[in-house]
Structure 1
Amino acid sequence: MVGSMKKNNKLYKIAILLIGLFLAVCCTYSTKPKDPNKLPNTTVANIPVDGDTINAYVTIHWDGEDSDGYVTSYKYRYITYHLTKGDTVVTDWVTTNLTSKTIAFESSDELNFQHFEVKAIDNEGGEDPTPAVKEFYTVKAYSPETYIVSPQENQDLFILPQTTDWWTGIKVVFGSKDRDGEVVEYGYRVDGQGDWTWLEDTMAVLTPDEFALPLTGTHVIEVVAKDNTGIVDPTPATVQIVLFEPTFDKNILIIDETKEGDQTPGFTTDAQVDSFYNELFNPDTTIDYFTSGLPPKHILGRYKLLIWHSDYNFDRHNIGNEKDYIIEYLQAGGKLVLSGWRIIKSFDLGASFPQVYESESFLSEYLHVVGANESPSVDGAFAWARGRNGYPDIHLNKEIRAINDFPYFGGLTNVNIITPGAFTRVIYRFQCKETTSDNIRSVFQDRPCAIRYLGSSFDIILFGFPILYINPDEAKLMANKILEDLL
């Protein structure tokens, strides 16, 4: 029984196999071949009108269709025929997903014939064999003219090996003119190195790594403008500058802006003033501003400390015109002492006291003065100053008899009291003479009249009065404390 069942089962499997083979052989049939891909078609809008004469900056619109699929992208190019020159410029095909493009057509001839082609590409990679064509003329496109505003040719500037919070690099300001278009971009490079750096702004800040080594020496900056027709100024604007990396290998430079005479009572010669300051500070060098002007950066950058005095009674000291010079020195890491009669007024001509200074002003940002007032110009109220933060008390030099006469009457006129900014320390407070009226005393008595700022990049000491009139012995103690703080 069992053997019969096994035999039947075997016959069953063989029958199934034979049936499968029969079906595989007898039931095959042929299929219809796939239709060939139909290539896409491209159209271009009728703007600009064929044969028009227009400027070189042209927007062209196009479209594509595909009867058995869909359009995935486009290719376009143009050929420019220079009708006067007689030569031709052929651009490469450009692939895009867009259906319009604003193109700055090459138009360097007086009249240029433009032949534009665009073709659609379908989902199987098929390209329109007959691209859509747009033909028109363009007039000559003029290149922009680039100029550099600053720095000036052969200007000397400080440079540091790395940027700081205060010194961010060499600032270059530039501009351009374009007679038939609009400048959209500027490129610059330094010392002929590398590719052009492009930006839309009209100012660039060049960091030390952009200059060829050594940093100290002569360097050349080039700037070019590019307009909205894609034309780049073929003649870059250039400026040569002289950079100096400060060495600070000397201690003290004094710039003497004190004008001896009627406005400096008691001092009739330059030798008297020089003697006073030499005794106090023992400078490496003294420069007379009126005879020698300002020292170049390669000289200034050798001194750790600049002491500038304008100790004559005048409200328009030249130091007010030299803010950029002082800013450069401070940003480079210099230290500054300012002494002067009405020296704050020199930085804010025309302003009346009391005055408050904006945060971005030179007085506030660099000298750390946020406000100031000035004592009366007749019957001087200032008799002495009380020292603070380690500074000695100081009194007027009674040997200078001229300050006992009109308009001083034993006290200094036109002394500034100062509202100090952040991170400053008051080092002297105004003390009135005994005969000062209560009204004046209420405004000026014990108010700050000298301040000190010790910062991360530069240090400042500002006096609101001329130290030339301080008792020499007390002034010497004061000078020793200044040098202790700054050197």
Structure 2
Amino acid sequence: MKRSFLLSIIAGLVFSTLLFYHCSKITGNRPANIPPEIAFANVPPDSTTVTSKPTVYWFGKDIDGYVAEYQYAVVTTSQIAVLGLTADGFANILRNFGGFNWVASCSLWADSLEGLGEQRIQGIVLATERGKGQTNAQIQLFASSDSTVFIQQYLFLRAVDNLGTSSVVVYRLFSRNNHAPNTKIEGFNAAEVHYSLPETTATWKGIRIDWSGSDSSDYPRAQPEFEYHIELYGPFPSKGSVDPVNPDPNKLLADTAWVPWKTVILPRGLASNLATLETGWYLFRTRARDDALIPDPTLATAVFLVIRPVCNKNVLAVDVTYYSPAPFGYELDSAKVRMFYQTLFANAGVSIADSDFIFVRLRESPPESLLSQYKMILLINHDLLNNTPNETTYSQLVKYLSVGGKVWLMGMNNFNVRSGFAQRKDLKSLFALDAKRSYLMGFNFCGVKEVYFSEWTSLGDSGNCPPLSPACKVLPKDTAWYRQRNEEFIGADPLLAGWPSIEVDTLKVKALTTKKSGVSLIFYDKLPGVDYNTIGSGANPAEALYLFKSYRGNASPLHGKPCGLRYEGPKFQATYPDPDLAGKPIFRTAEFTFPLYYMNQTQAEDATRMLLQWFNLIECNFPQ
């Protein structure tokens, strides 16, 4: 047994030695590298007419290695004719290109064609993963901007193996026509005024413009991806000075290459050196091009006004009260109201000139070019009956605060939710049902959760008791009458140490007594139409300054509820480019549910002085 095993080992060693000696003596040449093979599949067949990029399929193999690259180029029949060649002749020229020198060689022929007035051709390389993949591609074909023209062209294709040896060049004929795409700007309101800052913040997200392309003639179903060319011009001094077709080339701010974007956030979205947009009119232009590189012949344009806010002045007073002979229950002499607030602020240390005090009619709005020049807006509203200010004004105030403004709302029905009966309204819930900017102003920019209204109405006739009779001060036993005639606000109690109590000026309230069309409204020392707010919860709640003081005390649902508050918005990020603003609140607001006009003037001046110190008008909140 052992002897047989030993003989087997010896035999194996002898055989290995003989084999090694024999192999080491092999002579002759190695077999030549065999070129790879290439052939088109039947999809799409030869001489196919298309209106978009065709997806072409082929087969390739290499029996002594692997196909490293597939290389192709598209050449029109007219280009081949200009060169004085046939398809076979041009295929032979391509066959002689160096294996891995396809792109550079095609570029030389592209130069020649361009010199003859023809379009350039392009060599395309598809690299495999050691022979795997890349056996089909969407092929870019030539097309005319005239949709009635069909361009005949060849797709020339070859395979190159891992040693750089190429296959024969195969080709297939295609014909293509094309319809130019359409371009449109979407969701951008060019009629709206757009603010501009050097950098986005938590409340200002830049100027967003969206656009899209479409080609329903060539793509009746799903649309392909397009490329877009984008230009921005400005600033222009007026809208009339903007020529959308032939704009002043000296006003060109950004000019992109063809890009796949469909959205841009101005100003930095188009160019890194475009730090901000100064005040003026701007022209945005874009056009799509399709997969045949045919552009939309018509530019999509938008001409819009941009305002960069500045701090030229301190306070703009905007009185939105509806001064008309018809209403009841508030002062109708606008000149008297203006003089009061000018005196109030002057005694508190801030002057408001006549040019800084404007009256806005019921359906009008202040110009944003004016708002943007002031550090703070004082919005005065004595109107108990109408929803003032209107939605446009609230939209302007929201935008103004978003870029760093300061607003003090003072008056009745500040968020336009009053109705004819007592109720509490949640502003965020209302906004979810009807996205009014007045609701957004309340919960998002003033920190108010709910607004409560009593059932006061100017139609409640107080003629059932003698004019100025002391008996009218007593709570009537007729509940329905009281629910219409329930003015009860007699002042506001402070919550912060050092802040003054504010009491109603009874002489001004008594002056509101009126009789019109047989209806008498008799006032004594209680101001009608004052409501209260509840404060929203969260990480950044508003701060209550004053509580409603009712002559009925705790018997009233309004007594002891917030009627004056202040709110700080989110902060500028710590890395904000303007170091004077980094980490500080972006905006500040205050809201009083009662006008100071009807309050004790000395007390009102003290409260105004303290609130203006908090607003800090020395500091400009607009990033510079």
- The alignment's TM-score, normalised by the length of structure 2, stands at 0.64
Shift of 1:43: 1.8
Q: Which digits, 9 at most, give the CA deviation of each residue in 1:290-331, with x for residues without a partner?
A: 299545444322211111112201342234333331122112
2:287 to 224, 236, 256: 224
Task: Determine if the alignment matches structure 1 residue 46 to structure 2 residue 25.
Answer: no
Task: Determine if the alignment matches structure 1 residue 119 to structure 2 residue 158.
Answer: yes
Shift of 1:156: 4.4
Q: Contact between 2:183 and 2:286, CA under 8 Å: does it hold in 1?
A: no
Q: Contact between 1:403 and 1:412, CA under 8 Å: does it hold in 2?
A: no
Counterpart residue identity of residue 388, structure 1: L
Q: Contact between 2:531 and 2:558, CA under 8 Å: does it hold in 1?
A: no
Q: Which moved more, 1:40-49 or 1:250-259?
A: 40-49
1:463 maps to 592
Shift of 1:457: 0.8
Counterpart residue identity of residue 494, structure 2: G
1:144 maps to 182
1:94 to 113, 124, 137: 124
Q: Distance in 2 between matches of 1:309 and 1:255?
A: 6
Task: Determine if the alignment matches structure 1 residue 412 to structure 2 residue 537.
Answer: no
Task: Determine if the alignment matches structure 1 residue 188 to structure 2 residue 184.
Answer: no
Task: Determine if the alignment matches structure 1 residue 206 to structure 2 residue 267.
Answer: yes
Pick closer, same or farther for the CA change 1:253–1:81 going to 2, 3 Å.
farther
Task: Determine if the alignment matches structure 1 residue 382 to structure 2 residue 489.
Answer: yes
1:393 maps to 501
Pick closer, same or farther for the CA change 1:338–1:332 going to 2, 3 Å.
same
Q: Distance in 2 between matches of 1:407 and 1:107?
A: 83
Q: Contact between 2:277 and 2:306, CA under 8 Å: does it hold in 1?
A: no
Q: Contact between 2:196 and 2:276, CA under 8 Å: does it hold in 1?
A: no
Q: Distance in 2 between matches of 1:73 and 1:367?
A: 65
Shift of 1:57: 2.8
3-state SS, counterpart of residue 357 of structure 1: helix
In angstroms, what is the RMSD of aligned CA positions? 3.6
Pick closer, same or farther for the CA change 1:433–1:177 going to 2, 3 Å.
farther
Pick closer, same or farther for the CA change 1:416–1:105 going to 2, 3 Å.
farther
2:428 maps to 357
Gaps of 5+ in 2: 1-23, 83-116, 128-133, 234-251, 346-350, 433-439, 457-483, 514-519, 570-584, 618-624
Task: Determine if the alignment matches structure 1 residue 130 to structure 2 residue 188.
Answer: no
Shift of 1:476: 2.0
1:5 maps to none
Pick closer, same or farther for the CA change 1:458–1:428 going to 2, 3 Å.
same
2:313 maps to 250
Task: Determine if the alignment matches structure 1 residue 371 to structure 2 residue 450.
Answer: yes
Q: Contact between 2:331 and 2:382, CA under 8 Å: does it hold in 1?
A: no
Task: Determine if the alignment matches structure 1 residue 478 to structure 2 residue 607.
Answer: yes
Q: Distance in 2 between matches of 1:216 and 1:376?
A: 46
1:322 maps to 393
Q: Contact between 1:426 and 1:450, CA under 8 Å: does it hold in 2?
A: yes
Q: Distance in 1 between matches of 2:523 and 2:126?
A: 83
Percent of matched pairs sharing the same residue: 22
Q: Distance in 2 between matches of 1:229 and 1:465?
A: 66
Superposed, 1:34-113 pairs within 5 Å as 34-80=30-76, 89=119, 91-97=121-127, 98-108=134-144, 109=146, 110=148, 111-113=150-152
Shift of 1:385: 1.5
Task: Determine if the alignment matches structure 1 residue 273 to structure 2 residue 337.
Answer: yes
Gaps of 5+ in 1: 1-27
Shift of 1:105: 3.0
Shift of 1:241: 3.7
Pick closer, same or farther for the CA change 1:215–1:437 going to 2, 3 Å.
closer
Pick closer, same or farther for the CA change 1:158–1:258 going to 2, 3 Å.
same
Pick closer, same or farther for the CA change 1:394–1:229 going to 2, 3 Å.
farther
Pick closer, same or farther for the CA change 1:347–1:96 going to 2, 3 Å.
farther
Pick closer, same or farther for the CA change 1:346–1:102 going to 2, 3 Å.
farther
2:200 maps to 163
Pick closer, same or farther for the CA change 1:176–1:470 going to 2, 3 Å.
farther
Higher strand fraction (1 or 2):
1
Shift of 1:198: 3.9
Q: Contact between 1:44 and 1:62, CA under 8 Å: does it hold in 2?
A: yes
Q: Distance in 2 between matches of 1:50 and 1:58?
A: 12
3-state SS, counterpart of residue 322 of structure 1: helix
Pick closer, same or farther for the CA change 1:286–1:268 going to 2, 3 Å.
same
2:481 maps to none
3-state SS, counterpart of residue 345 of structure 1: coil
Q: How many residues are matched?
A: 453
Shift of 1:172: 2.1
Counterpart residue identity of residue 500, structure 2: P
Pick closer, same or farther for the CA change 1:474–1:173 going to 2, 3 Å.
farther
Q: Which digits, 9 at most, give the CA deviation of each residue in 1:214-272, with x for residues without a partner?
A: 73444432333355665543443233444343321311111111112343634222212
Q: Distance in 2 between matches of 1:249 and 1:135?
A: 70
Q: Distance in 2 between matches of 1:352 and 1:228?
A: 60
Q: Which digits, 9 at most, give the CA deviation of each residue in 1:384-439, with x for residues without a partner?
A: 221223532222221122556648773422524232452421011112222x793x
Q: Contact between 2:185 and 2:209, CA under 8 Å: does it hold in 1?
A: no
Q: Contact between 1:113 and 1:135, CA under 8 Å: does it hold in 2?
A: yes
Pick closer, same or farther for the CA change 1:116–1:203 going to 2, 3 Å.
same
Q: Which moved more, 1:317-326 or 1:254-263?
A: 317-326
Shift of 1:142: 1.9
